[in-house]
Structure 1
Amino acid sequence: MILYAAILNMVDGPMDEMLLDEHKAYLQQLIDAGSIFAKGPFTDHSGGLVLYKADSYEEAMAMASQDPAIVKGSRTLTLKEWRSNLD
Structure 2
Amino acid sequence: MKYFAVLLPMKDEELSKEHRPAHLTYLEERRSDGKIFANGRFVDGWGGLVIYKAETMEEAKQLAEADPFVKLGARHCEIHEWDIVIS
TM-score range for the pair, normalised by the shorter chain length:
over 0.9
Q: Which runs of 4+ in 1 moved over 4 A?
A: none
Q: Paired residue for 2:85?
A: 85
User: How many correspondences in the alignment?
Assistant: 87
Could you list the runs of 5+ residues in structure 2 that have no partner in the other structure? none
- Corresponding residue for residue 13 of structure 1: 13
1:39-64 Cα distance to aligned partner (Å, 9 max, x none): 00011111100000000000010000
| CA apart distance, 1:84 | 1.5
RMSD over aligned CA atoms reads 0.9
Return the letter of the residue paired with 2:28.
Answer: Q
Overall identity of the aligned pairs, in %: 37
Q: Deviations over 1:23-46 (max 9, x none)?
A: 000010000010000000011111
* Length-normalised TM-score, structure 2: 0.96
Q: CA deviation at 1:66?
A: 0.5
Q: Which has the higher strand share?
A: 1
Task: Please tell me whether residue 69 in structure 1 is matched to residue 69 in structure 2.
Answer: yes
Amino acid at match of 2:18: M
1:53 equivalent in structure 2: 53
Equivalent residue letter for 1:17: K
Gaps of 5+ in 1: none
Structure 1 residue 85 displacement after superposition: 2.3
Deviation at 1:86, TM superposition (A): 2.4
